[in-house]
């Protein structure tokens, strides 16, 4: 059984209106970063997005436990998203599933 590590990440952009924020693009950005820093091994990381909210600019995703340090370092060193300065801040990590949805805000989230 593969053990996973869950990340709760907040996304911050200099100009939110000039970026297209979707789960697919976010996943591509993180995997691109992993591949740049750690080569093919980093690029082979299986990243699964659990929850995504463009309005709150927040994501919960998971990676296999063995890729935890690499993923965290890669996210820290991401400086641009679609050529817009950004800051991806890891709010929380856990071995159990995370959920940032507060009561009454379920409709803003996509569950993937």
Q: Is 111 in the site for other proteins (CB under 8 A)?
A: no
Stretch that binds other proteins, among 24-32, 53-61, 66-74, 99-107 (CB under 8 A): 66-74
Measured distance CA(31)–CA(69) in Å, rounded? 14
**Taking Cα atoms as reference points, which of 72, 53, 68 lies closest to residue 11?**
53
Using only C-alpha atoms, what is the Rg of the chain? 13
Site track for other proteins across 26-65, x = CB under 8 A: ----------xx----------------------------
Residues that bind other proteins (CB under 8 A): 12, 14, 36-37, 69-70, 72-73, 75-79, 85-87, 89-90
């Amino acid at each position: 059984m593969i053990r996973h590590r869950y990340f709760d990440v907040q996304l911050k952009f200099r100009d939110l209106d000039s970026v297209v924020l979707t789960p697919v693009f976010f996943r591509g950005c993180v995997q691109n970063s992993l591949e740049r820093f750690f080569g093919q091994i980093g690029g082979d990381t299986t990243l699964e997005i659990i929850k995504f909210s463009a309005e709150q600019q927040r994501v919960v995703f998971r990676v296999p436990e063995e890729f935890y340090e690499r993923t965290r370092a890669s996210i820290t060193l991401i400086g641009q998203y679609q050529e817009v300065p950004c800051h991806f801040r890891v709010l929380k990590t856990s071995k159990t599933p995370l959920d940032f949805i507060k009561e009454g805000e379920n409709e803003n989230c996509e569950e993937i």
